Each structure stands twice: as structure tokens, then as C-alpha cells.
Amino acid sequence: MEKWLNSYIPYSTSIIKDVINISFNILYIHLRKYPWIDSKYDIDKLRYNFYTFIHNEYIIKKPSNIDKYTEEFEYLDLKLSEECINLYIKFRDLFSSYGLSIFNGYNSNSYPLLVYIYNNYIINIYDNDDTDINDPSTDYYDILYEN
């Protein structure tokens, strides 16, 4: 993996690792805005896990999996599915701009990115709700139809 990460991109002075670092930084900053998501690891370990994720998922075609389907994964899927799609498209465009076909493969989609997040972050589903279900003043009908 190290050899691949440090290989130069054709017609560029950048190496593959540089582009992956850009995408990792975008993801890391994006996830920090959610108080209900905490990292399991320090930033260096998260970055290394992201390198491994990209290499395994898109280079050697070893799909990412979750160990066990949980409430936390379901919650993450419901809350971040659309944003993962947008991040996936942003990453695909970023890699394409460097002439790399990562994120452009057949059947390639945003699901593995969601799995990476789940495997490397703690999802606090019980500490994140904006509304208090025990608050009698909350009108849930209005919350459902406020848009």
C-alpha cells in the first residue's frame, strides 16, 4: 500500500497520497460539525484507516463491511446517507480532476464511505436529538410538516 500511496500521478507533481489527504480532510471537517459523531481514534489513525479503506475498496476491490448491523448504523444511514452521496460525488470529481479513476468503478457508490464512517466513529444516537420527546409543549405534527 505504501508504494501505491507514494506513487506519482501521471502529468502531475502530486502523489496519490496528496489527493487522498485532501479528501480525508474534507470528510474529517464535515463530520466534526455533528455533535453526535465522535472519532474512535486520533487523527493519524483515522487518516491511516482512510488510506487503507481507499486502497482496499477501490484498488484491490476488497469491499468494506460492517461487523454487525446495529441501531447506530441505521441511524447513521438515515442521517448521513444523502451527505455521503454528496461527499462521494465530490471525491469522485476530485480524483477525476487528477486523472485518477478511484470512485469511478462499475457499481461504485457511496455505501462504502458510510461503512468507513461507521467503523471509525462513535455514533451517539441517544445524545443527539434536537427535540425532547418528553416535552409536552412540542407539537410533533408541526415538526413533521414544517418544511
Taking only the tens place, the pLDDT of each residue in 32-82 is 989 989 999 999 999 999 999 999 988 888 887 777 778 888 888 898 889
d(CA 84, CA 90): 10
Predicted confidence band of residue 108 (pLDDT cuts 50, 70, 90): confident
Chain centroid, CA 21 distance in Å? 13
Rounded to an integer, what distance in angstroms lies between the CA atom of residue 9 and that of residue 67?
A: 34
Rounded to two decimals, the pTM is 0.79
